[in-house]
Structure 1
């Protein structure tokens, strides 16, 4: 009986997370007010700035699904690339770039 309850619980959590999966694709407003476009590409998902001082610059590649993504993110100001991650929650995208997984910076973008 306990096995059945645990199995039902695990299936409910797994199904719930699949239903709650939020896509990363689309246009996002960065913290500086620029617009970034995220679309599928050979590396998974590519992030490209479409306006602002760095318009046309590709600033990241992420892989994943279900609202959680990992890859590399480049700071367009200094062209330094960091190990990155992203999490989609509703209309927010939290991006994080880290050096040695210790020194991290994060931003929250808003879906347009």
Structure 2
């Protein structure tokens, strides 16, 4: 019985392995200075504005993992939605939105 107690104590001392969040999760600052939050939602990720005149509006949905994502992004001023992609490298998020994959615009957002 003493031997079993030692084994249980040893197992309890092993640190648990935490699953790291996907690098897209977090708060980001847009080029206009607004704050966005990217969270898990519906099997992917949602971008929601947290500050500025469109605060509370969801402006994007993306799927992917490990720093590379595809989805849709909405320009909240024009209320138009475009195909988009996101790549995350360190503390920088590069977002690209395209019309018919021909005319594209990109922005880079720093992590907050």
Q: Shorter-normalised TM-score: what interval?
A: 0.7 to 0.9
Give the total of aligned pairs: 92
TM-score by length of 1: 0.79
More helix by share: 1
Matched, 1:86 2:93: no
- Aligned structure 1 segments of 4 or more residues deviating by more than 4 angstroms: none
**RMSD of aligned Cα (Å):** 1.3
Larger Rg: 2
**Structure 2 equivalent of residue 107 of structure 1:** 107
Q: State the 1:68 CA deviation.
A: 0.3
- CA–CA distance in 2 between the matches of 1:57 and 1:100? 24
Query: 1:4-15 alignment to 2 at 5 Å?
Result: none
Structure 1 residues 45 and 54: alpha-carbon distance in aligned structure 2, compared to 1, 3 A threshold: same
Superposed CA deviations along residues 73-97 of structure 1, whole A, max 9, x for unmatched, are 0000111000000000111000000
Query: 1:1-112 alignment to 2 at 5 Å?
Result: 23-112=23-112
Question: Any unmatched runs of 5+ in structure 1?
Answer: 1-21
Structure 1 residues 77 and 43: alpha-carbon distance in aligned structure 2, compared to 1, 3 A threshold: farther
- CA–CA distance in 2 between the matches of 1:76 and 1:43? 23
Report the 3-state secondary structure (helix = DSSP H, G, I; strand = E; otherwise coil) of the residue aligned with 2:104: strand
TM-score by length of 2: 0.79
Question: Any unmatched runs of 5+ in structure 2?
Answer: 1-21
